[in-house]
Amino acid sequence: METDLVSSTFLVAWLAAAVRLAGPLLLSALGEIFAERSGVLNVGIEGTMLIGAIASYLAALATGSPIIGLLAAILAGVVVSLFLAWMYVTVQANQVVVGIIFNILALGLASYFYRLAMGGVTGPQKIAMFEPVALPFLSGIPLLGPILFNHTALLYAVMLLVPVAGFVLYRTKLGLRLRAVGENPRAASTAGISVSRMRYVGVLVSGAAAGAAGAYLILAQVGLFRETIVAGQGFIALAIVIFGRWDPYKAALAALVFGAADALQLSLQLFHVGLPPQLLLSLPYLLTVLAMSGLLGKAHQPEALMTSHRKE
């Protein structure tokens, strides 16, 4: 009886943590789907998440409002994505190289602005965060209640964004044009669709989502800023897009798998299972390598992904 209670408690705690940790991964992956569906591989989402994190932290610290912190992160994500979109689409520079260099630049910028703002302050400064909200009636459901319905409003919003993203991609003219540009930009251009404009839209959506994901890490999980807060989650989001076959609904399931792997290593460390902590910490990144290697199944990417286009 005692063993069953411990097992059920462990299961609920693990799955609740998996859902919570999947939030920022799913949010950044949803935005990346729009970018890649338009034909742009936005490797810079790692750096964009970090810019969003520092913007949300400083804004929330200055105003005491997590909502303003979230809005500042989204705005910051859009602003830096304008630069990325210009490099990807207008300049037509190598998308992987631009993204990697931007990630390094973002680390330097975030560190600089943090030290500039906190230069005369000693010790970490805690900020106002989004608090968990237990949904009436639903949170009382055995097992499912604490797993799915006792989280922050930010996580509920991310869950709602999954069907919204699916509707936009598959049921609207914007989504049709975005997908057409990502599959055959020449045919789309012949049909009167602006390839550059659609790709700008895809990158800006990706940037707004990545900025918000960075804010999620600060405002819903940690409450403090540190330079390593993103810790490769932008690259994991890239793997989730592949694992989810560029589909918002499948990406949600993939994000839960990666969130579960991350939560499992945290839970197993508490139970002292005897495995090296470094091995447990590598679980999410091992999944990332497997997803991007194609060993978990061949994925059919958008035909024109990373393909430049110039209007003739």
- pLDDT in single tens digits along all 312 residues of the chain: 445 545 667 788 888 889 999 999 999 999 999 999 999 999 999 999 999 999 999 999 999 999 999 999 999 999 999 999 999 999 999 999 999 999 999 999 999 999 998 876 766 788 889 998 988 888 888 878 888 888 999 999 999 999 999 999 999 999 999 999 999 999 999 999 999 999 999 999 999 999 999 999 999 998 899 989 998 899 999 989 988 899 999 999 999 988 888 887 766 666 665 666 666 667 777 777 776 666 666 667 899 899 887 765
Write down the H helix ranges in the chain. 2-37, 45-63, 66-85, 95-117, 144-148, 153-171, 173-183, 185-190, 195-216, 233-243, 248-270, 277-281, 283-293
In a domain, 223, yes or no: yes
In a domain, 270, yes or no: no
In a domain, 56, yes or no: yes
Nearest Cα residue to 295 out of 303, 283, 286: 286
Pairing of strands 132-134, 150-152: antiparallel
In a domain, 55, yes or no: yes
39 Rama sector, left if φ>0, alpha if ψ -120 to 50, beta otherwise: left
In a domain, 85, yes or no: yes
Range of the domain at 108: 24-116+146-235
In a domain, 6, yes or no: no
In a domain, 49, yes or no: yes
Count of domains observed in the chain: 1
In a domain, 140, yes or no: no
Nearest Cα residue to 77 out of 98, 112, 50, 107: 50
